[in-house]
């Protein structure tokens, strides 16, 4: 039986909002909120960060929260994923998530894994516009062998920064729609990805007065946006 691992990429040296992954939402650092929401149904997760001094504080937070982590090249994000993926078998599943998107949860992870296994392809990513979902509700999934094969190719600077860019170039992905996660109200023009301070304030407002921000389901959060 194949195993799965969520790799959550994070760094503190973001240009538009420096240190954003450590900014707090309901008293919880953004990276921790992202990690624990993705894990709230028991899925395995590791944070892939850099070996730069700028991420030392981030690593201390992860250690304190008992969250697994890996440190690698700051600019070559692809290499971080590749190193982790090589520890798994060819048919094990790798899920890519980013630490500026706190809405995805364990239910979404499990749904994406189930869907991926049914489409018989080696890559799948959520198209938020197709599902009427806000920007920031995104997960990608692929086999470990896919990224290992991609790692043997010539990669551009963009390929190294945007981990899956080389994977989905020029391929046709069947069954892009997951019916169970599509919502009636079209929220695809709404942004809940934390890139700037205004985004952080919007996300803080969304989670305001939520008793358990780690356990609340994505569906319940979406109802708060309407």
Global confidence as pTM: 0.96
CATH number of domain containing 77 = 3.90.550.10
Over its C-alpha atoms, the chain yields an Rg (Å, rounded) of 17
* Of 170 and 16, the one with more pLDDT: 16
Percent of the chain clearing pLDDT 70 (strictly above):
97
**Tokens 């952080």 -> residue:** 200
Q: How confident is the model at residue 154 (pLDDT cuts 50, 70, 90)?
A: very high
For the stretch 58-97, pLDDT in tens is 999 999 999 999 999 999 999 999 999 999 999 999 999 9
Residues spanned by the domain of 62: 4-225
Per-residue model confidence as pLDDT tens digits over 171-205:
776 668 999 999 999 999 999 999 999 999 999 99
Tell me which of 86-95, 110-119, 159-168, 173-182 is least confident: 173-182
Total structural domains in the chain?
Answer: 1
Percentage of the chain beyond pLDDT 90 is 92
């Amino acid at each position: 039986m194949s195993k799965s691992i969520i790799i959550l990429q994070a760094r503190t040296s973001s240009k538009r909002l420096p240190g954003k992954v450590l900014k707090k939402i309901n008293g919880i650092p953004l990276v921790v909120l992202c990690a624990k929401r993705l894990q709230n149904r028991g899925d395995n997760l590791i944070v892939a960060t850099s070996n730069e001094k700028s991420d030392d504080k981030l690593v201390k937070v992860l250690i304190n929260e008992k969250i697994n982590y890996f440190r690698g090249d700051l600019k070559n994000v692809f290499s971080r994923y590749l190193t982790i993926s090589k520890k798994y078998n060819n048919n094990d599943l790798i899920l890519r998530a980013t630490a500026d998107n706190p809405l995805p949860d364990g239910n979404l992870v499990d749904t994406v894994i189930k869907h991926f296994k049914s489409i018989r392809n080696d890559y799948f990513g959520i198209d938020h516009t197709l599902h009427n979902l806000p920007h920031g509700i995104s997960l990608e999934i692929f086999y470990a062998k896919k990224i290992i094969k991609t790692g043997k190719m010539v990669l551009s600077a963009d390929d190294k920064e945007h981990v899956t860019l080389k994977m989905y170039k020029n391929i046709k992905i069947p069954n892009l729609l997951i019916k169970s996660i599509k919502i009636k109200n079209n929220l695809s023009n709404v942004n809940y990805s934390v890139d700037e301070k205004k985004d952080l304030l919007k996300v803080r407002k969304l989670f305001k007065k939520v008793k358990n921000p780690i356990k609340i389901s994505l569906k319940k959060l979406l109802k708060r946006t309407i």
